[in-house]
Structure 1
Amino acid sequence: MMDYPDIAESTYREVPHSALYSHDAEYALIGSMIHQPDLIDDAGARLTAGDFHHPACAELFEIMLAMRSKSLQIDVVTLSDTRSHLADGQSTLGVAAHIAHNTPSAANFTAYSKIVKQRSVARRVIAAAQIMSERLHDGDALDEVLSQGQQAWMALEAEGLDARRRYRFIGEILPEAVDGIDRRFNREVSLGFDTGLASLDEFIPGLCPGHMVVVAGTPGSGKTTLGLNIAERVALVKEVPALVFSMEMTDVELTNRSLASVGSVQLKHIAEGHSMADGEWPGLTKAVGQLNDAPLIFCDDSTLTLRDIRQICRTVKREHGLGIVAIDYIGLINGENKSSSRYEQVTDISKGLKRLAKELGVPLLVLAQLNRGPASRANKRPTKSDLRDSGQIEADSDVVVLVHRDNESEAGQAGVTELIVDKNRHGPTGSCRVQHQGAYHRFVELIPGSFTDEDVEMNRPSTGRKYGKGRPDHAAF
């Protein structure tokens, strides 16, 4: 084994070589990344800090990932400047310099990372086997233990495989692209999920895999309603798992909103209970039947970080499959670096969510708030530059939909809402008008001729004008 007397002299005891870890490979891997920081991106795609057995290596890896995400220069001095001492009290400069000095070349970086990853998987295999043994001793059913053990083994085995080649020549991609065109032409598959609102779908022909779609609005504008409606549609109509994270509402509150939307039952009556009318019970019963087996998944943990969200998404996809993820809302996701400003935290979170959408291969619906800029304008219409917390949200998004309703106008009081597609990387921008049925927590299409564009844009009083209740057929599941 390589000798690292300065690192573990006082803290780490001599450990015999084991098939479950290789400190030599971990030292060499960290040293390679210090010599060539560009390798950090590759390592970050393959490994996590938990893959390292040596605590100092795991900590140095976390520091380098954080610095790389902020585009900071990396060497032994900047590592020390970022964190002067490691968790065990050792000098970061001393440890990093010693590792770098004993790693003369990064040429075998791929081999080092393979060893570290495979040993990490081996440790988790042993841990999984121990858990299975304990469950059998506790009297759990053999079939159930074996089934869960098999799932765990398959997931770990996949992690231990060599990373696939991360680039392709266009000649290799063309057959896949042409096949996709042919299948869409024959309507065998769709480009992505529709929103359930035909007027909005004219701008967004599909919520596509890997896309980050931002739905933003002021408090009470209906952005949560729109996000939940889309998730409900994916789960109920497409019958594909839809995962909804809510940092504001409990899972019971979300379920009540889904019952109101799907069953055409007033949310107020569901919340109160005693005010339920006789005619609403059939709708509620029907909604319960439809939602009971729907792959609609809620997570209401308000303490979530981006790392937590990523882990939950991966677990759901592995165990149940995954069609779409909705997050309500980005401004409430906890930052992992407590020492940085909130602007920096949200910037990092936004970048991470975009990467997560591509990794999962599903559309990611990210809800966001707007700042107070629109309130100072005559028409009060927002733009994508009004996104709150960080301009990075606009930069990372594929589509930005702004939910705008002027509650001081007659149209706004009737629920008339403008959906402004202010950014669309793969289609046109523009706006459409729909109706917010707040009592049922849903959006529906407007009845043609119930208002004019001029009335809404000029906030013109329309004496005697009666706004319809919208078309409920678009909200039916």
Structure 2
Amino acid sequence: MTNVTSFNATGAEAKGEVSLPHSIEAEQQLLGAILTNNDIYDRVSNLIGPQHFYEPVHARIFEVAATRIAKGNLSSPVTLKTFFEDDEGLKELGGPAYLVRLAGSAISAFAARDYAQMIYDMAIRRELIELGHEIADRAARAEVSVEPRDQIVAAEQSLYSLAEQGQSERGFQSFLSAVKDAVDVANAAYRRDGGLAGLSTGLVDMDRKLGGLHRSDLLILAGRPSMGKTSLATNIAFNIAKAYRRGPLPEGGEGAIDGGVVGFFSLEMSAEQLAARVLSEAAEIPSEQIRRGDMTEAEFRRFVEAAKTLEACPLYIDDTPALPISQLSARARRLKRTHGLDVLIVDYLQLVRPATARDSRVNEVSEITQGLKAIAKELDIPVIALSQLSRQVESREDKRPQLSDLRESGSIEQDADVVMFVFREEYYAEREKPSEDKIDEMVKWQERMERLHGRAEIVIGKQRHGPIGTIELSFEGQFTRFGNLVKPWQQQGGEGY
């Protein structure tokens, strides 16, 4: 766009052309105010970004100025001149002299926030107009392979992104912008207690190994039946939900400053069964006793108190069976819009249906894992998906799981940022009990059981941003609860977690 030279007309509008909503004058006034007084940037930075400017040259000026200000450097026509000497767009507007004209034309600093709001509102209107055209064009094209329901999901996804981020699709972003985001994440980790870059699971050793649950990551939690996959997932969900505290965020607005809102898709168990598990852990009453109603008066009172405490926890359960991945995405977006969402758990991956029937199960699982990774990136949250392991584990002498044991492992291993396995050797040792008459073998077995009792391992088979290895946890089977394992040296020193 080259008709920005007039400070009294708004681009194409000066020629009487019909154009998308914009105000060149508002952009000029805001940039001029920032170049004159850098403190103004702090007032508007949480509202607009470079992507909201209609004129591309203005977007580049704002981005460079914002980067310098964030580093504590001065942004003025003189300091910005160096960065725009080879900018063809600025040359068309008069070169570096245009920066001086911007600063000189700024009328008032107190109206900067109003100009920023105007620029943001017009950017949203432009996005809505373009999005409306796209939806109409897609609906007009009658393609046999595309279901109308899929078009509705795609339209909802674009509208969600527009409402949340001020743009319906991201496209390319400059390295400057990416670096700023990386620095913000590191700064948040530096300031947070314990130095976690992500959301705490409530399990100290797991947090230490993973650095917490990171936004936009897909974590696979896999294991054979009865290893405790669902138990560990509910423990993490409960820990995050009960730690939830809301407050002002460093980047502006409000959100979770501790813990978070948890969404739990339980495709195998009912919501009531899942709630009973969480209550068993919180009230410290065995889940089978809760199921049978076999509780003393004191235990029942404790159970009711735990239920009252948990009522306030932001843990939302959807137990719809056989959900297609497209519906799962849509429901997750809706939950984030209505109640907020900081972590999503799916139990379990193989029970999710693909949006369309595929020629092989491997391709179906590939579509599901790609869909889950897309949810993590779109909603900017960690997604934990549980997964079954193949039976080949049982045929090996060493039952410790590995990546090749994942069902349809190629796509799962490829799309996941972290792959973890739940392993309880005690489970297998119990089934190897010798007969009573073999005294020596029985003694060895009892010693082994004592050593393994109440212990579990989380084997990290893949981690994109950190090391692999093993995490040791405690496991209380009667309460289906995983916890931090107190090491011998901590017992000697009188310390524990």
Q: TM-score range by the shorter chain?
A: 0.5 to 0.7
Among candidates 272, 276, 285, match of residue 292 of structure 2: 272
Give identity over the alignment, percent: 32
Output the amino acid matched with 1:356. I
Shift of 1:429: 0.8
1: distance between equivalents of 2:239 and 2:324?
27
Q: Tell me the residue number matched to 2:216.
A: 210
Q: Distance in 2 between matches of 1:395 and 1:54?
A: 31
2:280 is aligned with what amino acid? A
Cα distance in 2 for residues equivalent to 1:203 and 1:221: 21
- Judge conservation of contact 1:192–1:205 (CA < 8 Å) in 2: yes
Q: Deviations over 1:85-120 (max 9, x none)?
A: xxxxxxxxxxxxxxxxxxxxxxxxxxxxxxx99xx9
Residue 271 of structure 2 is aligned with which of 236, 241, 251?
251
One-letter code of the match for 2:175?
I
Tell me which residue corresponds to 2:183: 178
How many positions carry a matched residue from both structures?
Answer: 326
- Partner residue in 1 for 2:482: 443
Q: Report the equivalent of 1:361.
A: 380
**Matching of residue 241 in structure 1 with residue 246 in structure 2:** no
Q: How does 1:250-399 map to 2 (within 5 A)?
A: 250-273=270-293, 275-399=294-418
* Post-superposition CA distance 1:2-52 (Å, at most 9, x none): xxxxxxxxxxxxxxxxxxxxxxxxxxxxxxxxxxxxxxxxxxxx9799934
- State the 1:260 CA deviation: 0.5
Mapping of 1:40-189 within 5 angstroms?
51-52=135-136, 57-60=141-144, 62=146, 158=163, 163=168, 165-187=170-192
Contact 2:161–2:378 (CA under 8 A) maintained in structure 1: no
**Is the aligned partner of 1:417 residue 2:437?**
no
The letter of the residue matching 1:62 is V
- CA apart distance, 1:389: 3.0
Question: Residues 326-385 of structure 1, C-alpha deviation per residue, up to 9 Å, x if partnerless?
Answer: 000000112232352222111111111111110110000000011112212222111011
- Tell me if the contact between 2:220 and 2:420 (Cα under 8 Å) persists in the aligned partners: yes
The structural deviation recorded for 1:320 is: 0.9
Secondary structure, aligned partner of 1:408: helix
Structure 1 CA distance for aligned equivalents of residues 336 and 482 of structure 2? 28
CA distance in 1, matches of 2:401, 2:413: 13
Structure 1: which 5+ runs fail to align?
1-45, 67-115, 125-153, 451-467
Q: Give the Cα–Cα distance (whole angstroms) in 2 for the partners of residues 202 and 178 of structure 1.
A: 20
- Deviation, 1:183, is 3.6
Residues 267, 321 of structure 2: 8 Å contact kept = yes
Deviates more, 1:223-232 or 1:332-341: 332-341
Structure 2 match to 1:405: 424
Q: Flag structure 2 segments of 5+ consecutive residues without an equivalent.
A: 1-129, 246-259, 430-448
Structure-1 separation of matches of 2:408 and 2:132: 28
Tell me the CA shift for residue 164 of structure 1: 5.4
2:319 partner letter: D
CA distance in 2, matches of 1:176, 1:252: 40
- Secondary structure at the counterpart of residue 444 of structure 1: strand
Question: Can you list the C-alpha shifts for 1:147-201, whole angstroms capped at 9, x where unaligned?
Answer: xxxxxxx969849976455222222333443344334323288411122222222
**Relative to structure 1, is the Cα distance of residues 303 and 372 closer, same or farther in structure 2, using a 3 angstrom cutoff?**
closer
CA–CA distance in structure 1, aligned partners of residues 186 and 165 of structure 2: 34
Which TM-score applies when normalising by structure 1?
Answer: 0.61
Cα separation, partners in 2 of 1:202 and 1:160, compared to 1, 3 Å: closer
Provide the C-alpha distance between the structure 2 equivalents of 1:167 and 1:156, rounded to a whole number of angstroms.
Answer: 16
Distance in 2, Cα, partners of 1:420 & 1:386: 13
Relative to 1, partners in 2 of residues 1:163 and 1:187: Cα closer, same or farther, differing over 3 Å? same
RMSD over aligned CA atoms reads 3.6
8 Å CA contact 2:160, 2:333 repeated in 1: no
Evaluate the alpha carbon distance shift between residue 49 and residue 396 of structure 1 in structure 2; reply closer, same or farther with a 3 A threshold: farther
Deviates more, 1:244-253 or 1:49-58: 49-58
In 2, are the aligned partners of 1:405 and 1:412 still within 8 Å (CA)? no
User: After superposition, what is the alpha-carbon deviation per residue over 1:210-239, rounded to whole angstroms, capped at 9, x for unaligned?
Assistant: 000100000110011111111111111134
SS at match of 1:391: helix
* Distance change >3 Å, CA 390–CA 49, structure 1 → 2: farther
Larger Rg: 2
Q: Deviation of residue 398 (structure 1)?
A: 0.7
Structure 1 residue 292: Cα displacement: 0.5
- Mark the CA change 1:272 to 1:385 in structure 2 (over 3 Å): closer, same or farther: same
With the length of structure 2 as denominator, give the TM-score of the two structures. Answer: 0.59
Q: Distance in 2 between matches of 1:438 and 1:221?
A: 10
Per-residue deviation, residues 302-339 of structure 1 (Å, max 9, x unmatched): 03010110010000001111010000000011223235
Q: Give the corresponding residue for 2:106.
A: none
SS of 1:203's equivalent in the other structure is helix
- Report if the CA contact (8 A) 1:347-1:390 is conserved: no
In the alignment, the residues of structure 2 paired with residue 337 and residue 49 of structure 1 have an alpha-carbon distance, to the nearest angstrom, of 26
> How far apart in 1 are the matches of 2:238 and 2:466?
24
